Chains A and B, each alone.
Chain A
Amino acid sequence: MRRMLRLFVPLTIVAATLVTAMIAAPAESAKTFDLKSITLQQAASMVQQSAVIVSLVAVWMLAAVALTLMSGREVRASSMEIRASALHCFTVGLVAFTSFILTAILFSYLIPYFIGIPLLFALAVFGVLTKIYGMVAMFHAIGTLVAGARSREQLAARKWFRGDLAMTVLGALILGAIRLIPVVGVYVWWIASIFAIGSALATKFGRREPWFLAWRPAEA
């Protein structure tokens, strides 16, 4: 049984990676980026894309500031999890993303039976909340990795460039800037999203509680 599980888990993770790659792959237009043969229309389209990306980054920053002010401790706990066990977060994110897609297909299948619509709506709300929370934790993790204080002296020397809020905003700026790079930015943002979903779920939204209670018989 254990040997089967050992084989089963990596296979599922590989399958999850393939499904995620299939769905998350950027559009064909993004793959054929060649600066030399660019037309005026393509350039205008690129400016429009950049405008959309920068606007989204601004919205992400506002969301990050609000969420960090509301629950900074939870965001910090999830951010620590990304740095402490990155591979686990990535694996959870991949499998969770695949699970979201498969569950969405199943609920869409149930739409003619009416129960599908509320279930699909609940799944969408849960997915969006997971992504938003996880991305804020990811911003915090990136900000802390890049500019976090390494020692107590360094922390004491900083007058304003410290704290959860500063790290989150810095992380959002860095990831937003990377997102602007053609082709690479899309992939980096998607990988960050997978990490984000994984960290949010692995830490139960920073609460560090178990998702499932273990059953033990009461002792006499």
Chain B
Amino acid sequence: MKTDSCLRYLEDPEANSGHLADCAECRALFGEHNVPSKPLALDALPLAPWEGATHRAWPLVLGGVVVALIAAAVLCMIAGMTPLHVVENSFKSVQSMRAFVLTSADSLRDASRGAQLAFAGAFLAVNGVLVALLRRSPRGIDA
């Protein structure tokens, strides 16, 4: 790896393939037995997730959103609902969860010392397991 010829071979191995016959050092490193010379068949490789991912299918997107909006407007009209009613109804589950949390907090405040300690133990245990689970690195593309 000392001469300009070696560098030229490294930069473009195909154009300077004759260099291997002259240089024993490069032959030992990049000779037939050391470097697989099979051509890669790109089409035979599995499809990577990012291939074609940036394509923006506007007809489908606009069509889907418009269909959903029209369906929502028609159903609201049939049901005689205003957008305010829709918002109120959609927050029902959030309100029930909020009520559950506030009631539980009130019960916890009035609970015995033992129950409060049990809650603290459960809180620490669940969060400890969550931290342990989050320590695992995601598999994603390595799967």
Residues of A within 8 A of B (CB): 8-9, 12-13, 15-16, 23, 27, 44, 47-52, 54-58, 61-62, 65, 69, 72-73, 76-77, 80-81, 83-85, 88, 91-92, 95-96, 98-99, 101-106, 108-109, 111, 149-153, 155, 158, 160-166, 169-170, 172-173, 176, 201-203, 208, 210-212
Contacts and interface: CB of A to CB of B under 8 A. Distances in A.
A72 B55 CA distance: 11
A155 B52 CA distance: 7
A76 B68 contact: no
B72 A55 contact: yes
Contacts of A111: 105
A109 B47 contact: no
A201 to B, nearest CB: 6
B126 interface: yes
Interface residues of B, number: 61
26 contacts: A12-B125, A48-B89, A51-B79, A52-B86, A52-B89, A52-B90, A54-B68, A55-B76, A65-B61, A80-B140, A91-B133, A95-B126, A102-B123, A104-B101, A105-B104, A105-B108, A108-B102, A151-B47, A162-B52, A163-B54, A165-B55, A166-B60, A169-B60, A202-B136, A211-B135, A212-B131
B36 interface: no
B141 to A, nearest CB: 6
Contact of B68 (A69, A106, A165, A173): A173
Contact of A152 (B43, B49, B81): B43
Contacts of B83: 55
Chain A CB count within 10 A is highest, among B52, B64, B129, B134, for B129
A88 B47 contact: no
A12 B69 contact: no
The dominant DSSP class at the B interface is helix
A73 B68 CA distance: 25
Interface of B: 43, 47, 49-61, 64-65, 68-69, 71-72, 75-76, 78-79, 81, 83, 85-86, 89-90, 96-97, 100-102, 104-105, 108-109, 119, 122-123, 125-127, 129-143
Contacts of B119: 102, 105-106
B140 A51 contact: no
B68 A103 contact: no
B129 A9 contact: yes
Nearest to B127: A99
Contact of B101 (A65, A83, A101): A101
B68 A170 contact: no
B72 A58 contact: yes
Contacts of B132: 9
A88 B135 CA distance: 12
B64 A92 contact: no
A105 B135 contact: no
A23 B105 CA distance: 15
A60 to B, nearest CB: 9
Given A52-B90, A211-B135, A169 B141 contact: no
Contacts of B55: 160, 162-163, 165-166
Given A52-B89, A169-B64, A202-B138, A105 B43 contact: no
